[in-house]
């Protein structure tokens, strides 16, 4: 949503004064339609579904890079990469 609004505000911003940008932002935020909100919501949902479907891939990657902060070993010169 911010990308859409930022583009609209930038297209109308001719003075580059903070007061004017704030007024443009308020106008454009108020003018967002329910259809636009619904489209953004559908897009967010699709991105969430895609991320959730790849969660198992992320879990396997994260297991490789987890660092134990409570490790008592002071020798930081030795690292094991699997």
Q: Is pLDDT of 20 > 70?
A: yes
- Is residue 75 included in any domain, yes or no? no
- List Cβ neighbours of 4 (8 Å cut-off, separation of 6 or more): 32, 36, 40
Contact in structure between 24 and 13 (CB atoms under 8 Å): yes
pLDDT reading at 69 higher than 60: yes
Quick one: 20 and 46 in the same domain?
no
Same domain, 41 and 20: no
Identify whether residues 40 and 27 lie together within a single domain.
Answer: no
Q: Which domain holds residue 43?
A: 33-62
10 has pLDDT over 70: yes
Is residue 73 in a domain?
Answer: no
pTM of the model: 0.57
State the pLDDT at residue 54.
87
Total structural domains in the chain?
Answer: 2
pLDDT over 90 (residue 77): no
Place of tokens 């967002």: 32
For the cut 90, the answer to whether the pLDDT of residue 46 exceeds it is yes
Instruction: Report the pLDDT averaged over residues 10-33.
Output: 96
């Amino acid at each position: 949503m911010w990308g859409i609004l930022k583009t609209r505000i930038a297209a109308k911003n001719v003075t580059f004064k903070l007061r004017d940008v704030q007024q443009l932002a308020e106008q454009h935020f108020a003018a967002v339609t329910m259809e636009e909100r619904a489209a953004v919501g559908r897009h967010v949902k699709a991105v969430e579904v895609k991320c959730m479907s790849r969660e198992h891939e992320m879990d396997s990657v994260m297991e490789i890079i987890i660092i134990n902060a409570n490790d008592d070993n002071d020798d930081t010169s030795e690292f094991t990469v699997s």
